[in-house]
Amino acid sequence: MAMITSDPTITLLNDVKPYKTSWKVEVKVLHSLTQHSSYSGGDSLQFILADKTGVKIHCTCKRLFFARVKKLQLGQWRFIENFSLTAAAGKYRPTSHKYKMSILSNSNVTNSILKDEDNFLSLTSFTEIMNGSLDSNFLIDVIGQPIDIGDIQVVPVQGKETKKLEFTLTDTELPKNELALTTGSHELAKHKGSKRQPDKWSIYPERSILDIIMATDVSLVSMESEENTCLSSTPLSKRKGECEIYDLSSTSKKQCSKIMKQEKK
């Protein structure tokens, strides 16, 4: 349960505008990372912040102002005062907010007593991903099951070696329709994916052990060297009465001079 603060000076992220810098917001740090750069400004810190309503915004801090954001710790709620806003543009935008926040020389970060464990995920369905209805300029949140996980590769990115891992992500949700849990004649659409060679045994029809025994009469004869006798098992299909079916060891002794094996299909 979130503890709602009543400070009238706090502005929600949806309401901040670029016309001034003296805003005060209460936000949770969802993500933080360092962006490397070869430009004169050097590396920068990037943050994804969210307010209590779940609205998210991208925040950036130049190396010159790193000391100002020491208190911006992952998963913690903080007040941020005095920052600038510019229009968000370009590809791979981490939030849908129309502005991007930038830390200034007079920005101030202080602790908040707000408690809310929500990660504020905006999950995207696989249907939206596959039908091409999403704006490719924005990054999305998605949950799925990883398969076909490849090896970690080292590739050059902007002159530096970077690790890359490729895998296939599959949907973990069942279809939400009347055919989801039926075995009728209707055929559900299958997701495209890598084909797997079927096992040889899977191309033959299924049969029970009893079907196999009843379909084939097999007489197995084993030699007893000392007595020159052999044991001939009686085929199950030739036995009479249900009471005899359980006795699979029924044998009869007879004289024989050699091993015989007879199979009738």
| DSSP tag of 180 | T
Hey, what are 10's tokens?
Answer: 């706090």
Using alpha carbons only, what angle is made at residue 204 by residues 203 and 209, rounded to the nearest 5 degrees? 145
**pLDDT beyond 90 at 223:** no
Please indicate whether residue 216 or residue 99 has the higher confidence score (pLDDT). Answer: 99
Average pLDDT score, the chain: 75
35, 48 Cβ separation under 8 angstroms = no
pLDDT in tens, 109-158: 999 999 888 888 888 888 888 888 888 888 888 888 888 888 889 999 87
What is the four-CA torsion angle of 34, 37, 43, 49, rounded to 10 degrees?
Answer: -40
226 to 219, 220, 229, 230, 259: CA distances (angstroms): 22, 19, 8, 10, 14
Confidence bin at 64 (pLDDT 50/70/90): very high
118, 54 Cβ separation under 8 angstroms = yes
Share of the chain above pLDDT 70, in %: 63
Please compute the mean of the pLDDT values over residues 170-197 and round it to a whole number: 54
Q: Return the sign of the alpha-carbon dihedral for residues 180, 181, 183, 184.
A: negative
- Three-state DSSP at 109 gives strand
Share of the chain above pLDDT 90, in %: 34
Q: Which helix (H) or strand (E) holds 211?
A: helix 209-215
Domain coordinates in residue numbering, the chain: 13-111, 126-170, 209-240+250-264
pLDDT in tens, 16-55: 999 999 999 999 999 999 988 777 778 899 999 999 999 9
Please compute the mean of the pLDDT values over residues 156-168 and round it to a whole number: 85
Hey, what are 262's tokens?
Answer: 């007879």
CATH topology of domain 13-111: OB fold (Dihydrolipoamide Acetyltransferase, E2P) (2.40.50)
